Structure 1
Amino acid sequence: MKAERLIKILLLLQHGEIISTREMAEELVVSERTVHRDMESLSAAGIPVYAERGKAGGWKLVDNWKQRLSWLKEKEMLSLFLPHAEKIMNDLNMDISSKDIRDKLMLSLPEGAKQSAVNLWERIYVDMGTWKNSTNEMNPAMKVMKEAVMNNKKVTISYKKANGEIRDSIVKPLGLVAKSSNWYVIALNQQDEFRSYKVTRIIEGEIMDEDFNRPSDFKLSDHWEQSKKQFMQSLPEFQVKVNVSPFAHQRIKFTGRFVQAEYEGMTTENGWTELGLIFNTEEEAVNYIVGFGNQVRILSPLDLIDKVTDRAKEIIDLYR
């Protein structure tokens, strides 16, 4: 597009060097005639670009002229230099790198803020991937959903639910949300009810040749935060009071994925501590406590003691 080409020309010229028409044409993959027309467009827009004639001549900006980010405060400018998550850009198939973005933004930064931006870039890194090795190939469903979201197109999907059930439906994708290393698509179902779909569970997706009207009052970030809050409030809770050894205490504090510590009570002389734990279900509580062996003692509910004891007996029987 011409607008993107003009921006790229301006960025190239802001390095301060003279660039010949031939070099510019090769960089932009256009004809030299197109370069001349683009320069006329920049000049007509008030950009002080001029041509130096001669063997070493070419195009250049007027000395000391730069389009700076002068309307931004320093902290606002620096926020633009926070490292971008490469995984997100790869998942969205944007075909750009955060380094390219940084280098281009740097040209428009006032001299006094450049070193601060470099320091920020060199000292902070954002990794949205998982610890396990993962492929950089784009999820086919992600490609479909991105196109549908950007163009207000209905999509037919085959979706695998958490219980293994596969359901076919027609949805109206409204937005994509990156949550940790996972992507979710927020959409309206056939009854125009809001639903969240995990992209990795979409087995098949096909864009329909049918548009839909996006709700005028829908704001993706507001909807996500509200739905996340409602989801957390809807989760079941099973409360357990226990005494834990120093070893178990440290492990529970370190791994909070399957259990939430509601409170921490007194620690006895032998180092054992009373804890209030919250699980999603009783079954999760049984399996979790059994895993600690003799390092966790149940205080309440009392009927949980029998269930943990029964589970321990089942494990013993399994290995007899």
Structure 2
Amino acid sequence: MRSDRLLSILLLLQTHGQLSAADLAERLEVSTRTIMRDVEALSAAGVPVYTERGRAGGIALLPGYRTDVTGLTADESRALFVLMTDQAHSDLGLGQALGSALRKVMAALPALQRPDADLVSRRVLVDPARWRTSQQPVDLELLQRAVFSDRRLKLTYRHGRDSQVRSYTLDPYGLVNKTGVWYLVADHRGQPKLFRVDRILSAAVVDEPVQRRDGLELADVWEPLRRVIDDIPDPISVTVSVRREVLGKFLRIHAADLAAPPVDDGAETVVLELHFRALRAAETLLAFAGDAEVLAPQELRDLLARKAAEALAVYERS
């Protein structure tokens, strides 16, 4: 609607200052001619908007002009108050700032929208933390201080794959909260690395400027690191037969490993196709004992059989 577009132009100019007609047209997905007509309409309505010609010209508001209109629709105002619990903000030392910001937004909302926004904040709760998560051993504010001050970090870290403790001097890009788990994204000797914050044993900010690679931001470094975990380049295909009684539990644990949706034909067992990074990663199937049988590959069947025999020998001795 044109009224929404006029308000969007006004808010964009307030936020960014002078913008070209072409830039506004691209942001709002309309033609430059439409933008110029909208600017004329704003001017006719008393908004002090003006245009400057030339290569360095553009569209701008008179200095000091601010609108007291938030520009939020009812759905947008409700969306602002459907927030995560303040745990993530508290981890970063921003809990009080979040509350203060929401109070200011609430005060700026049109009177008719305030009851809906308040109701949403009391009726909908998003908790990003997983069940039974451990406390962060390292103060996130310290990591945040290194990130915002562009300083290097020294830390000791316990790796999950082998429990080895190693020391690093890092050039941090930033922090990522993924489903309630904090990660530090940083370069180590020019190579991107990912560190779970709850495995950092100690950390200290070094009085040395950070040495990031040129032209890279946090999102640029995070994306390939995320894909290394999410994407399996050469997966090992595993066929497993699961008893119907435990199918729900099996799928909750191995949903991310499914190569295709399960086909339920009503039989006593359901055959599933799974993908794993390596045979060792598939050893977790042994936890289902006789409720899940690996049908292929034979190499994995042999591996699980050896593991089962080793466990049996231990318990027979005792």
TM-score by length of 1: 0.67
1:155 paired residue number: 153
Bigger Rg over Cα: 1
Q: What's 1:194 paired with?
A: 192
For residue 227 of structure 1, what is the amino acid of its counterpart?
A: L
Q: Distance in 2 between matches of 1:168 and 1:244?
A: 43
Over residues 152-202 of structure 1, what are the superposed CA-to-partner deviations in whole Å (9 max), with x where a residue is unaligned? 11222223333233333322222111122221111222x332222222222
Q: Which residue matches 1:282?
A: 279
Q: Which amino acid in structure 2 is aligned with residue 273 of structure 1?
A: V
Unaligned runs of 5+ in 2: 1-66
- Does the aligned pair in 1 maintain the 2:86–2:95 contact within 8 Å? no
AA aligned opposite 2:305: T
Identity %: 22
Q: CA deviation at 1:300?
A: 1.7
Distance 2:156 2:283 in 1: 35
Does the residue aligned with 2:132 lie in a helix, a strand or coil?
A: coil
Query: Structure 1's 285 and 202: CA in aligned 2 closer, same or farther, altered over 3 A?
Result: closer
Which residue of structure 1 lines up, in the alignment, with residue 96 of structure 2? 96
2:154/2:204 contact within 8 Å kept = yes
Query: Where do residues 234-245 of structure 1 align in structure 2 (5 Å cutoff)?
Result: 234=232, 237-245=235-243
Equivalent-residue separation in structure 2 for 1:224 and 1:284 (angstroms): 24
Match of 2:221 in 1: 223
2:120 maps to 1:120: yes
SS in 2 for 1:291: helix
Partner of 2:10: none
CA RMSD, Structure 1 to Structure 2 (Å): 3.0
Look up the SS of the partner of 1:267 in the other structure: coil
- 2:312 is the alignment partner of 1:312: no
Count of matched residue positions in the alignment of Structure 1 and Structure 2: 250
Q: Please report how far the alpha carbon of residue 234 of structure 1 lies from its aligned counterpart in structure 2 after TM superposition.
A: 4.8
- 2: distance between equivalents of 1:286 and 1:192? 34
Native 8 Å contact 2:137 2:200 kept in 1: no
Per-residue Cα deviation, 1:86-111 (whole angstroms, up to 9, x for no partner):
11122112251755443332111012
Q: Provide the TM-score with structure 2 as the length reference.
A: 0.67
- Quickly say closer, same or farther: Cα 1:196–1:207, change in 2 above 3 A: same
Q: How does 1:36-51 map to 2 (within 5 A)?
A: none
Which stretch has the larger CA shift, 109-118 or 274-283?
Answer: 274-283
8 Å CA contact 1:128–1:180 kept in 2: the answer is yes
Q: Which residues of structure 1 form unaligned runs of 5+? A: 1-66
2:168 paired with 1:169 = yes
Matched ranges for 1:120-139 at <5 A:
120-132=120-132, 139=137
AA partner of residue 78 (structure 2): L
